[in-house]
Amino acid sequence: MKRMETGFFGTRGRIAVREWSGPEPRYVAILAHGYGEHAGRYEHVAAHLVAAGAAVYAPDHQGHGFSDGERALVGSIEEIVTDVRTLVARVTHERPGLRVALIGHSMGGIIATRYAQQRPSDLAALVLSGPAIGGNPGIEALLAMDPIPEIPIDPETLSRDPEVGRAYAEDPLVYHGPFQRATLEALFGSVGAISEGPGLGALPVLWVHGEEDMLAPVGVTDPVIEKLGVDPANRKVYPGARHEVFNETNQDEVLDDVSAFLSDVA
């Protein structure tokens, strides 16, 4: 697997991009990571997808990873959607004839869903992993507090594998501080926009989610998935799994489900 690091100028400065590919990819997968993390945490996901025939591109969103911007400050989800659109345009130019699938985890699920609502014709498929598209009432309640208390993400909520939490806590590229008000306003504003529609029409969508997800609870996510019109056959909730299903103890099952879905539609 060949790995490269590139970048482009986005809405708020330079956006760093990681790329992975094999010799003759059949389709392109673009990965949109979650809040506070970075694309480097998805190298094993990229390796699995490359082995299944994908060329994978993963940007660090504004304020995350190696990209420009104040750490974990999201000025606007729509700006990040614009950055992803810039990357899609570059990829389709570099790899003409290859169809594009968009994969979004958590906050990245918000980004990916907004993209698909606005430009479904750009995409061959959409994969949503623990998408925060239904919000989280406990986190949204922080907006009523002044100042917002310093409550960072608990690494134990990510996976049943304690090594995942340990690596997350020790990763210097992961943001470990409190939520910023502007970021929460951007996130929950987009949650509201997603709920208003439109649905995703005929676009093939796969939803994968942990049953015990405390950050994007299934109970508030499922009604939005239903409203978006996702085929019930493509909704997979894994028993006992937490927020990061790509890093869970059953990650091989999840990645096999994703690559099989994409091989059929992309």
Give per-residue pLDDT as tens, 81-138: 999 999 999 999 999 999 999 999 999 999 999 999 999 999 999 999 999 999 999 9
For 238, the 3-state DSSP assignment is: strand
- Contacts of residue 174, defined as CB under 8 A and 6 or more positions apart, other chains included, come to 36, 37, 38, 41, 168
What domains can be seen in the chain, in order of their start residue? 2-265 (3.40.50.1820)
Q: Quote the pTM value.
A: 0.97
What percentage of the chain carries pLDDT values higher than 90? Answer: 95
| pLDDT tens sequence across 122-145 | 999 999 999 999 999 999 999 999
Among 33, 105, 209, 213, the one annotated catalytic: 213
Contact 59, 32 (CB under 8 A): yes
Whether 33 is a known active-site residue: answer no
Catalytic residue among 106, 159, 190, 259: 106
Residue 106: active-site member: yes
Quote the mean pLDDT of the chain: 96
Q: Is 231 a catalytic residue?
A: no
- Burial (Cβ within 10 Å: 0-12, 13-18, ≥19) of residue 138: exposed
Q: How far is Cα 69 from Cα 80, in angstroms, rounded to an integer?
A: 12
